[in-house]
Every structure is written in structure tokens, then in C-alpha cells.
Amino acid sequence: MIKVAFLGLGVMGFPMAGHLSRSGYEVTVYNRHAEKAMAWLDTYKGISAPTPKEAVKDADVVFACVGDDDDLRQVTLGESGAFSGMKAGAVFIDHTTVSAKVSRELASVAAQQGLEFLDAPVSGGQQGAEKGALTVMVGGNDKVFHRIEPIIAHYAREVTLMGPVGNGQLTKMVNQICAVGVIQGLAEGLHFAKVSGLDPEKVIGVISKGAAQSWQMDNRYKTMLAGEYEHGFAVDWMRKDLEIILNEASRNGAQLPVTELVEHFYADVQKMGGQRWDSSSLLARLEALSEKN
Amino acid sequence: MIKVAFLGLGVMGFPMAGHLSRSGYEVTVYNRHAEKAMAWLDTYKGISAPTPKEAVKDADVVFACVGDDDDLRQVTLGESGAFSGMKAGAVFIDHTTVSAKVSRELASVAAQQGLEFLDAPVSGGQQGAEKGALTVMVGGNDKVFHRIEPIIAHYAREVTLMGPVGNGQLTKMVNQICAVGVIQGLAEGLHFAKVSGLDPEKVIGVISKGAAQSWQMDNRYKTMLAGEYEHGFAVDWMRKDLEIILNEASRNGAQLPVTELVEHFYADVQKMGGQRWDSSSLLARLEALSEKN
């Protein structure tokens, strides 16, 4: 029986750990705020531990899905962190979206301690996590990857090894770069349609099969037009991802003018009170600007 | 037997007029450079005329697909223009992508002369025109629309009335606004993937089913990665469309920061010699900038 530990029971980690429990693994969970761990134990079979170090002590595989670089350092290297408790040869899989830099740092520390490390950010959102249909982009050793792939498959539709540690994160960054261009373009298009007096629903009906089509258009235009943003991928998280991306670009020399601009736009949305709004709320910013003029 | 005239035999008009001929209409064609009209007559059944005025004199319906606002004014209102030759009650259908302003001007002149006018820009590109699978966005009177819809259907997959004259053009503008956001985002994503040392093909394989997906990603990433831009929708035409859009936005107050930025990027591509490159060539600009640094 494979024993696993899951660190971080947010909107993503909660159902992901749940899929592992339902698939028959012995799961020990840890969450910074213990109430979430209690709620998880009310729903799923498993045990909880008061610190990462205690959660991981018997685990063959340890999963983490926390907030950002600092949270990840805390849960791995901090006092009572996971790395000080893991047994030799155990595998640490990080599902958090963080910098490629911290992934490589942690992989290096893990190697020194006889541990394996994979970076494995996900896409597909809360719904993907709940349905067990995430896309997982993995960086790390291929032998380790092939060993843990069937475990991750319990909550993923697609698990792909993208190269050495850090490449999972870099792949997720490409995803976000493409997405923000799409979202801002769609927001500008819908905004233009509205101020021009067009019927935006009808416009989307006409243009959504051609060269302007996107997943965002298909899945977000209705809520954007309705000004409904209480769902999906929060602006705070998108902005965090964009900061990571722009830091990486300043290291590797990539030219990302629109990504950089849209990062500022998300800062504006935060100032409007939209921290928890879906990332499609860039339209709300354009509308606010338009009203001011 | 319905008699039609087709003015402008470019990459779009040539096959569109061809579909009308093959569908049994009596077609008279006019092209500024007569060689194109000769080539058309070599391929299709019909006759040609030396001026728009002569081309339209017996026509029940007149189609135009020319270059820009000035070309359209010339072919309608210029010396030997179509409006001076059309019979009362005939319908003028403009397939050119032009400003909503010129569409409304021409509709007004047409009305004074007892003519009907519809603006009807298309999307779907040369391939769509050749296959008879264009999307046509129409502005104008709904009775006239219903009369000519079956004729347009010979080269269109979808023909939609979007409201009064000008609304066809405004709808096409929304299409272009959404598309340029998508293209620039995709270009930044692929550029970032390459400079990060990722396998961009593999990255697209992973991210192309989720929130970053787009028609451009599905249909253009391969040629973008190969640096092949000798196809598709030319940068010169996209820039013309964006100028029309930004003029319209300065009138209606729409906020289009990324559209405006990308208009400058296309100007850069033109300076690189990419006037005829596909609009996906924004990646070439990022790569050139990256090499300079």
C-alpha cells in the first residue's frame, strides 16, 4: 500500500487529495489552518497531521499545492518542513504554480537529502480538480516521472513530462501568457461591441467559429457580458503568475509587451476590489475607464 | 434570370464572383487592372466591362470587394462609378472591409438615388472564398437582406444581419480586435517557450485543450514556429483594418489599449519587409527584438 501525504487543502488541493483517498491510497493531510483539514476528514478517509514534517514521515510520495514561492519554501524548508521529515528515496511533487527558480532550488536541496523532486503545476481550475480532469505539466527525472504518473492520473486527464525540473513551471507560464492575450483581446472586442451599439451575443455567434475563436470566447463571454466574475481563476492568482512570468522574462530576455501591460491591468482590477474576481474581469476595467471619459 | 455585377477581382472577389457564375447568374465583372478580368473570363462564364458604370447597367445586384475606403468611393462615386449607372431599385452589396462611416455615407447617397446599400464584410480568408465558406456580416435593411441572402449563400457558410448599415463593418472590427489579442498572446507564449528552452510543439500539445486555446493556436502555431508567413491574411491588410478600428474607437470612446499597441507592432513588421506576411508574423518581430538585446 502506497502511503502519500498532501500538503495544502485549498480549492485545488482539497479535491485532489480526495481523489487519492478514494483511489485507495493511505492519505495524510496537512493544512496551515487546521479547520480545512478537519473538513477534509469529514468528507474523505485519511488522517491529518499538525505539521508538514509529521504528515510526511511515512509517505512514499508527498504532494504540495500551496500559495506561492514563500509558502512552498515554508512547507518544505521551514521549521517542521517536509524535507526534514521525508524518508530517503521519497518523492516530493509540487503542484503549486511557482517560479522555475524555486523549483530548481528545492530540487537541488532534495537531491542533497536523497529525495526526489518534481515540479508539476496544473491547469483546469477548481472544476478540473473536482472532476479529476486536470492537465499536469511536469519537470524532473523521467524514471521518477514514470513511477508517479499513474498516481497523478487519479486527478488528471493529461500528465506530461516537459523536461528537467523547472520545465513544468515554464510550460504553465506559456499557458498564462497565451491566455492573458486572449482575455484582453476578448475584453476589448466585447467592450467595442457594446459601445458601438451592437448586440454582443449576436456578434459572438457570428465570429466564434473563425480566426478570432478562443476557449475564453466560448466559455467566458456570457459571464463577461453579464458582469459576473464570482467564479473561475482569481485575479490575485493571475497577477501572482504574471509577476513570476515577468521575473523569468527579465532573466531569459523574452519580449512580453502585452503580458507586461496586462499585468498592470490586473493591478487596476485589484484596486477596483476585484481581487477574487475571475481573470476575465479585464472587461470591467475597460468599462470603468470608458465611463470616466 | 438575375443579373449581377462584381467589382474587384482580388484574391477574395475572384472566387466569389466565380461561385456566382457557376451558380447560374449572369455575371458581369470589372477590375481596375483588366488582366485580372481576362483571367477570370478564362476560368468562368460571364462578360467583362471597362468601367464600373458599364458593368452595373443591367444588374439587379452589384457586389464590390475592393481595397479600402478610397477604392470603394472611387468605384461607387468616382467618374464612371457604379452609382451613376445602376438602375432604380438595384442593390449594392459591399464586401470590402471599410469604415462604418463610409458605409453610412454611401448608403445615404444610394438612398437618394433610389438604390439599396448593404455593408457586408467577410471573414474566412482566401480559402473561405475559394471553398464558398465565408462568414458574412451584414448591415442594412432587413427586407433587402432577406432578398439577397440566398445569393450571398453561394459563397458563404453563414450570412447574418447585424442591424442597420455600418453594423456589418462594426462586427468585423470586433472580430479583428479579438484576433489580434489572441495572435500577440500566442506570439509571446511561443517566443517565451523558445527562449526558455522548452519544446514548443510539446507545450502546444499540452496547453491547447484548456483556457489558452484559440483558433490561432490550433491553426497557426506550426507555421509560426517554422517562421513561414507566406500565406493567410497579410499584415498590410490587418494594419489597414486596425487603423479603421482605432479611428472608430476614437469616435465611440472604446478603450482598446492592446489593439492600439499591436497596430504599432504590425507597423514594425512592415518595416521588417513583412507587408505580405500572414498576420501571425508578430512572432518574427519579438524574435528580432530578442536577438538585438
Q: Beta-strand (E) ranges in B77-199? A: 91-94, 116-119, 122-123, 134-138, 156-161
* Residue tagged active-site, from B3, B172, B202, B209: B172
Q: What is the CA radius of gyration of chain A?
A: 20
| Domain edge (last residue) among B117, B133, B163 | B163
- Neighboring chain B residues of A193 at a CB cutoff of 8 Å: 170-171, 174
CB-CB neighbours of A80 under 10 Å: 16
Please give the Cα distance from A106 to A104 (Å, whole number).
5
Contact B179 A211 (CB under 8 A): yes
Contact B253 A290 (CB under 8 A): yes
Mean pLDDT value across residues A186-196: 98
The secondary structure of B22-84 as a DSSP string is: HTT-EEEEE-SSHHHHHHHHHHSS-EE-SSHHHHTTT-SEEEE--SSHHHHHHHHHSTT-GGG
Contact A210 B207 (CB under 8 A): no
Mean pLDDT value across residues A5-26: 98
Inter-residue contact B73 to B103 (CB < 8 Å): no
Cα torsion for A202, A208, A209, A213, to the nearest 10°?
170
**Cell 459571464 appears where?**
A223
Per-residue confidence (pLDDT) for residue B1, from 0 to 100: 82
Q: What is the per-residue pLDDT across A46-81, written as a single tens digit (0 to 9) for each?
A: 999 999 999 999 999 999 999 999 999 999 999 999
Mean pLDDT value across residues A250-276: 97
Nearest to A207 among B175, B190, B210 (CB): B175
Q: Is the ipTM of this complex over 0.90?
A: yes
- Neighboring chain B residues of A225 at a CB cutoff of 8 Å: none
Query: Do A32 and A123 belong together in one domain?
Result: yes
Contact A123 B293 (CB under 8 A): no
Please give the Cα distance from B242 to A69 (Å, whole number).
40
The whole-angstrom distance between B180's CA and the closest CA on chain A is 7
Is A293's pLDDT higher than 90? no
Q: Which residues pair with B61 in a beta bridge?
A: B4, B91
Instruction: Locate the chain A residue with the closest alpha carbon to B208.
Output: A175
Nearest to B290 among A175, A181, A253 (CB): A253
| Residue A99's CATH number | 3.40.50.720
SS3 B240: helix
Mean pLDDT value across residues A92-110: 98
Query: Do A180 and A285 belong together in one domain?
Result: yes
- Neighboring chain A residues of B186 at a CB cutoff of 8 Å: 178, 181
pLDDT, one tens digit for every residue, chain B (293 residues): 899 999 999 999 999 999 999 999 999 999 999 999 999 999 999 999 999 999 999 999 999 999 999 999 999 999 999 999 999 999 999 999 999 999 999 999 999 999 999 999 999 999 999 999 999 999 999 999 999 999 999 999 999 999 999 999 999 999 999 999 999 999 999 999 999 999 999 999 999 999 999 999 999 999 999 999 998 899 999 999 999 999 999 999 999 999 999 999 999 999 999 999 999 999 999 999 988 86
**C-alpha cell at position A111:** 537531491
Query: Do B11 and B118 belong together in one domain?
Result: yes
Which residue of B196, B233, B293 is the best one to mutate when testing the A interface, meaning the one whose CB has the most A CBs within 10 A?
Answer: B196
Q: How many domains does chain B have?
A: 2
- Neighboring chain A residues of B171 at a CB cutoff of 8 Å: 193, 198, 203, 206-207
Query: Do A83 and A100 belong together in one domain?
Result: yes
Per-residue confidence (pLDDT) for residue B11, from 0 to 100: 94
Query: Do A81 and A17 belong together in one domain?
Result: yes
Nearest to A261 among B192, B214, B257 (CB): B257
| Domain edge (last residue) among A148, A163, A178 | A163
> Catalytic amino acids of A?
172
Please give the Cα distance from B122 to B136 (Å, whole number).
4
* Chain mean position to CA A58: 27
Domain interval for residue B81: 3-163
Inter-residue contact A118 to A145 (CB < 8 Å): yes
Contact A254 B135 (CB under 8 A): no
The whole-angstrom distance between B36's CA and the closest CA on chain A is 28
Query: Do A129 and A182 belong together in one domain?
Result: no
Q: Indicate left, alpha or beta for A75 from its phi (over 0: left) and psi (-120 to 50: alpha).
A: alpha
Query: Do A54 and A182 belong together in one domain?
Result: no
The whole-angstrom distance between B25's CA and the closest CA on chain A is 27
- Neighboring chain B residues of A261 at a CB cutoff of 8 Å: 257-258, 261
Query: Do B199 and B287 belong together in one domain?
Result: yes
Burial class (CB in 10 A: 0-12, 13-18, 19+), B23: middle
| Domain edge (last residue) among B142, B163, B184 | B163
Q: What is the per-residue pLDDT across A116-170, written as a single tens digit (0 to 9) for each?
A: 999 999 999 999 999 999 999 999 999 999 999 999 999 999 999 999 999 999 9
| Residue B261's CATH number | 1.10.1040.10
Query: Do A127 and A265 belong together in one domain?
Result: no
User: pTM of the predicted model, to two decimals?
Assistant: 0.96
Per-residue confidence (pLDDT) for residue B291, from 0 to 100: 84
The secondary structure of A242-279 as a DSSP string is: HHHHHHHHHHH----HHHHHHHHHHHHHHHTT-TTSBG
Contact B190 A174 (CB under 8 A): yes
Q: Which amino acid is at B127?
A: Q
Closest CA to B218 of A209, A29, A17, A251: A209
Contact A212 B254 (CB under 8 A): no
Inter-residue contact B135 to A210 (CB < 8 Å): yes
Per-residue confidence (pLDDT) for residue A224, from 0 to 100: 98
Contact A202 B233 (CB under 8 A): no
Query: Do B156 and B14 belong together in one domain?
Result: yes
Nearest to B181 among A184, A248, A256 (CB): A184
Closest CA to B194 of B65, B286, B99: B286
Per-residue confidence (pLDDT) for residue A1, from 0 to 100: 82
Query: Do B211 and B274 belong together in one domain?
Result: yes
Burial class (CB in 10 A: 0-12, 13-18, 19+), B250: exposed
Query: Do B7 and B114 belong together in one domain?
Result: yes
SS3 B157: strand
Question: pLDDT category, A292, cuts 50, 70, 90?
Answer: confident
Q: Which residues pair with A135 in a beta bridge?
A: A123, A158
